[in-house]
A and B are shown apart, each in its own frame.
Chain A
Amino acid sequence: MTRMFLALIAGGLFGAGLFISGMTDTSKVQGWLDVFGNWDPTLAFVMGGAIIPMAIAWLLTNGRKPIVGGEFPAPPEPKLGRNLVLGSILFGIGWGLAGLCPGPAVASLSYGGWPHWVFFAAMLAGMVLAPLARAQLDSAVPAE
Chain B
Amino acid sequence: MLNTIPTDWLYGLGGGLLIGLGGAVFLLGNGRVMGASGILGGLVDGSGKSNMAERLAFLAGVFLMPVLLYPMFSDVDTHATTNIAVLIAAGLCVGVGTRLANGCTSGHGVCGISRLSLRGIVATVFYIMAGGLTVVLFRHLLGVI
Contact = CB atoms under 8 A, between A and B. Distances in A.
A64 to B, nearest CB: 8
A69 B95 CA distance: 31
Contacts of B98: 87, 91, 101-102, 127
B119 to A, nearest CB: 5
A88 B79 contact: no
Interface string A79-121: 1100111111111111111111111011111111101101111
A50 B27 contact: no
Interface in A1-51: 2-28, 30, 33-37, 40-51
B9 A115 contact: no
Contacts of B95: 94, 122-130
Contacts of A21: 11-16, 18-19
B44 interface: yes
B57 A86 contact: no
Interface string B111-134: 111110111001110111111111
Contact of A88 (B23, B77, B108, B111): B108
Contacts of B93: 90-91, 93-95, 97, 126
Nearest to B92: A126
B139 A34 contact: yes
A88 B101 contact: yes
Given A33-B134, A37-B140, A121-B91, A88 B97 contact: yes
Interface of B: 8-34, 36-37, 40-41, 44-45, 53-55, 57-67, 69-70, 73, 76-82, 84, 86-102, 104-106, 108-115, 117-119, 122-124, 126-136, 138-140, 145
Interface of A: 2-28, 30, 33-37, 40-58, 60-61, 64-73, 75-76, 78-80, 83-103, 105-113, 115-116, 118-131, 133-134, 137
18 contacts: A6-B30, A10-B26, A17-B15, A19-B73, A23-B12, A24-B78, A33-B131, A36-B136, A47-B16, A52-B20, A53-B23, A54-B114, A76-B117, A84-B119, A94-B97, A95-B131, A98-B94, A127-B99
